Structure formats: structure tokens, C-alpha cells
Structure 1
Amino acid sequence: MTAAAPADDRGAREVGRRIRSLRTERGISLSELARLAGVGKATLSGLENGVRNPRLETLYAITAQLGVPLTAVLSAPGEAPTVRGAAVGATLLEVFGDREATYELYRMRVTPGPAQLSPAHSSGVTEHVTVFSGVLRAGPADAPLTAGPGGYLRWTSDVPHTYAAVGEEEVHASLLLRYPRPSTPDG
């Protein structure tokens, strides 16, 4: 599952630049981030240098270890990034926030076929899905939930989680990710 830009595209280089910047701001070595995220050092190096297409699962694993939302590496002003996975295609519609959290709102499609397994997000991240058409099975990998048109699913996604279309119909849904803000000494 790859982000929309081909590896030789400026988009892949920008994603890599953002990953490197976030990693160095946090004082984390390339080797350490690769280990923490469960990705190969060569893969991470290729992403940072813009010579590899980033896979959605890989980006989620990396951003979880950096403690930032996916959009921190995908979006620049004026862009509407689309991410694709084994079963999921999601287009970012809006990023917004309040004192407690940052939110990412996506338009999501889930194609029939094998399920997509996504890695855990940072602690406390929740996902909220409203299904418009089709039947979706999604949620924690060990206890997925099911919803049809008009249905709503919510789960804490700091564990591996899955998305799958049930049957032969493509699922159309909205996905809202909620990333809690770190606590500050002032409360």
C-alpha cells in the first residue's frame, strides 16, 4: 500500500524530508527509529531519501513512534493526500484540532478481498468510522466490529487493527482519527 506519489516524484521526497526532520528534531537515530517502528533500516533510509514509495502501514508505524499524526509527514499546505493500502484508499479531507486533540478526517473506500491489517497507533488514538455503503468489518484485529450503511464504529487504535469489506460490495465511509495531545505541566 503506497502513498499516491511514485518514488521518483517530489511527493515521495517531501514525505522523506518530513520524516527525517521529525526524527532528527527528536534526537532519534535512523537505526533506532527503524527498530522502534519495526521497519528495515534500508527501507527507512530509502523513504527519507525519497527513493522508496512509502507504504501506509510503514508510515503509520513510523509516525506512531514519532508521536505525530500521519498528516505530519503527508501534507503540505494546499495538498489533499491520498493513502492506499492492501484494501483501503483514504483521501484526507481536513485536519483540525482543539486543546485536547488533533483530528484527521478522511473519505475512505475499502475494496472487497483480503483484509488490511494496520499497525498500532500511539497510545490513546481512537478511530471513528461511519459507513455510507457496503458492509465494513473493522477494529482491533482480535475483535473486529461490523457495520452496514448508516452504521458507526469506534475503537482505540493503539493496537493492531483491521479493515475489510464484507461481501462483494466496495465500502464507502468516513474515517475520523483522534490523536490526543500530550499532557503539559500546566494541565
Structure 2
Amino acid sequence: MPEPLPLRVGRRVRALRTERGMSLSALAAVAGIGKGSLSELEAGTRNPTLATLYAIAGPLRVPLAALLDDTIGAEVSGDGMDTRLLDVRHHDTGTVETYLLVLAPGATRRSPAHAPGATEHLVVTRGAFGAGPEDHVTTAGPGDRLDFAADRPHRYTAGPAGSEAVLVIRTPVGGPP
């Protein structure tokens, strides 16, 4: 039986934090989350949310999939969005992650900036979907594709009936400063 996601995520966060020589307090402070919450996450006793994982991914200089231990099928939720990792590929030029996104009716999910040069490519499969940098959100319907720079804060907004999309995130080698 596979190890539960909270345990895998906790082990991975702890390993990455240790590799980077960061204390629990330092990572919690720079990620803007409570030290107790981070401790519970690392212990595998707290369910990871999208907001928490993205807050940690930046300071650790890794894509979201790295925190999910590159586990295909891993699911994480938050702010009305359910996300499932469909595929992850590591190349000498960077990482390509593919996710299924499902947004609840009318939900809005804000995402912090990813690594410099990161891009997102979203193909809408159901409903109306708004996505893009905060100052340039574009709406699309089934079969439409949205491409945008993800190295600045951006958001996803569902239509009144909810939305689904496939998201590809391309992160170049390197990572957030």
C-alpha cells in the first residue's frame, strides 16, 4: 500500500529544507506560515493545501510537483480548486508538470509567482475559465487555450457552473531567488 500523501509531502519538505540548510523557523518565516503548521506538515499530521505548498515551494526553489514527491495521481486542494498531478518530466532545461484542475462554481484561486521564466498553458475542458496574471485575466471556454507568464502573481476563476482544465507548467532550470 502506498504511503499516504501527507507523509510523503512531509518527508519531502523536510528533506528539501535540510538540503538547503534552512531551519524550520526560517522556512516558516519566509513562507509566511506558522512554525507549528510547518512542523505538523513535515510530520505528516497536517493535510497539505495548495496555498501552503506554493508558499513553501518558492523559498525551497522547487516546482509544486517536487513537494508532491513527483507522485502521479497526487491530489491537493484549496480555495475551491482540486488539483491532480497527471505527469511530471525533468529535462536539462527545466521541469514540465501537467495537472488536472477542477474549480468549484464561481471559485477564484490566487497563485503566487513561480520561478523566473515559468509559463503556464491551460486548456479548458469544461465550463468557463478565467486565468492569467492579476492585471490580465483572460476568459476561455471548452477547447480554448490560455498561455501566460507564471513568474508573477496570477489567478484562476471558474464560471458559474464550475470549470475543468488541463494545466501545463513549464519551469526553467534554476528557481525562485
Give the TM-score normalised by structure 2.
0.89
* RMSD of Structure 2 on Structure 1 (CA): 1.8
Which of 97, 101, 109 in structure 2 is aligned with 1:108? 101
**Counterpart Cα distance in 2 of 1:130 and 1:10:** 30
**2:165 is aligned with 1:173:** yes
Q: Which runs of 4+ in 1 moved over 3 A?
A: none
Matched AA of 2:141: G
Which of 58, 75, 96 in structure 1 is aligned with 2:69? 75
> Structure 2: which 5+ runs fail to align?
none
User: Bigger shift: 112-121 or 34-43?
Assistant: 112-121
Aligned positions of 1:1-187 closer than 5 A: 10-75=4-69, 79-166=72-159, 168-182=160-174
1:112 alignment partner, SS class: coil
Q: Deviations over 1:136-160 (max 9, x none)?
A: 1111123212111221111222222
Q: Percent identity?
A: 46
**Counterpart Cα distance in 1 of 2:152 and 2:142:** 26
Give the TM-score normalised by structure 1.
0.85
**Counterpart Cα distance in 1 of 2:145 and 2:124:** 6
Is the 1:113–1:164 contact (alpha carbons within 8 Å) kept by the matching residues of 2? yes
Q: Deviations over 1:16-62 (max 9, x none)?
A: 11101000001111111112111111111111111211111110110
**Counterpart Cα distance in 2 of 1:122 and 1:102:** 11
Is the 2:81–2:107 contact (alpha carbons within 8 Å) kept by the matching residues of 1? no
Q: CA deviation at 1:76?
A: 5.4
> Structure 1: which 5+ runs fail to align?
1-8
**Counterpart Cα distance in 1 of 2:135 and 2:19:** 35
User: Would the alpha carbon gap of residues 100 and 148 (structure 1) be closer, same or farther in structure 2, given more than 3 Å must change?
Assistant: same
Q: Deviations over 1:37-95 (max 9, x none)?
A: 11111111111111211111110110111111111121356x41012122221211111
Matched AA of 2:18: T
